[in-house]
Amino acid sequence: MNTEQSKPLIGFTCGDLNGIGIELIIKTLSDSRILEQCTPVVFASNKSINFYRKSLPEINFTYQSVKDFSKISNKQLNVFNCWDEEVAINAGQLNEIGGKYARLSLQHAVNALQQGQIHGLVTAPLHKKNIQSADFNFTGHTPYLKHAFNLNDVLMLMIASNLRVALVTEHVAVKDIASNISQESIISKLHILHSTLRRDFGIETPKIAVLGLNPHAGDEGLVGDEEQTTIKPAIKEMKDKGMLVFGAFSADAFFARAQYQDFDAVLAMYHDQGLIPFKSLAIGEGVNFTAGMPVVRTSPDHGTAFDIAGKGIADTSSFVAAVFECIDIIKMRAAYDENHSNPLRKMSSMIIANATDEAIELSEE
């Protein structure tokens, strides 16, 4: 297989049409070095792309327009047209149109993932409120992807170099966090986290830290008892299965003392407990990865940024990181699957190869 054929096809959703998504795509994919690593397929429309391209005249952005995957070119950027109609784009405004076409882009991209037409997906930011519709009642990409692939559970995992922070609960109201945490949910997340660290990040024996829920990890039951009744029993069960899982750690001290550096990943109990320290440490280059899926999906760690949309000043750091993380995980997963597939066949091949070598040596003697 030649280099062009071996490049993964990476899909890109446009996100909210009035946000910074298409600007990020134009800036990022105009770099020819990206095209050396993957074949991009942007799920949007020519007209939407051209609207934002006009506001970035200094960037040389060329693409091929397609409506059929048989026409995808491995040598250039492809825009897969999900709609043809004129759309009123109002950069920086939160409205129904922005959500409607963000949803359409996402649904086309996920369908392509399901059909195996693309190898991975990078999603641009959407707004969780205006994307809602009769056929889309999800609080974000992660629950939608879980539903689309009919999975029992998935894991939101934030990545920045060797810092990895996963969540037990995601977009849940603070008042409902405790009721959404159970021993079973923690165990499920730990199984996914342990598996993805091995398969997607090449860490054969991962070491995982688990944070407590309450201040000071409950102070031995003085400040809440979830650590004693729920979290520590889950940790013990994982340890009994041979996994290196430790905790429950007091969240503030854990990050303040940089204890995260001693672990391959951290499992936080809720959104802000994990994402506030993560984003503070990631310095704008964090990536959101949906672990536990048969496909690879990443995204930048920020939102639609309506306040700067259409001004041409959006920072691409996190989006670029999401692209390369998607490519790296695809390659790492393929290598892991190859190395762990049918060991008996590999052993037989090695025995035959060794026997052949010995026979050659004997004949030479």
pLDDT digits (tens, 9 = 90+) for 34-70: 999 999 999 999 999 999 999 898 998 999 999 999 9
Whether this model's pTM surpasses 0.75: yes
Residue in the structure block whose two tokens are 């200094």: 58
The 3-state DSSP class for residue 155 equals: strand
Residue in the structure block whose two tokens are 């550096």: 261
Contact partners, residue 272, CB within 8 Å, separation at least 6: none
Four-CA torsion 21, 25, 27, 30, nearest 10 degrees: -170
Q: Which of 208, 219, 186 is nearest to 259 (CA)?
A: 208
Residue 145 clears pLDDT 90, i.e. is over it? yes
Tens digits of per-residue pLDDT, 252-262?
Answer: 999 999 999 99
Beta strands in 179-337 (DSSP E): 207-211, 244-249, 265-268, 287-291, 296-300
Residue 305 clears pLDDT 80, i.e. is over it? yes
> Do residues 24 and 319 lie in contact, with contact meaning Cβ atoms separated by under 8 Å?
yes
Model confidence at 5, in pLDDT bands (50, 70, 90)?
low
Average pLDDT over residues 120-148: 93
Residue 324 clears pLDDT 60, i.e. is over it? yes
Q: Do domains 1-151+293-365 and 154-283 have the same CATH topology?
A: yes
Tens digits of per-residue pLDDT, 208-247?
Answer: 999 999 999 878 888 889 999 999 999 999 999 999 999 9
Distance CA 150, CA 46 (A): 32
Share above pLDDT 90 across residues of the chain, in percent, rounded to a whole number: 82
- Please name the fold of domain 154-283: Isopropylmalate Dehydrogenase (3.40.718)
Q: Give the gyration radius of the chain's Cα atoms.
A: 23
What's the CATH number of domain 1-151+293-365, 3.40.718.10, 3.40.50.2300, 3.40.50.2000, 3.40.640.10? Answer: 3.40.718.10
> Do residues 80 and 115 lie in contact, with contact meaning Cβ atoms separated by under 8 Å?
no
Annotated domain spans of the chain:
1-151+293-365, 154-283
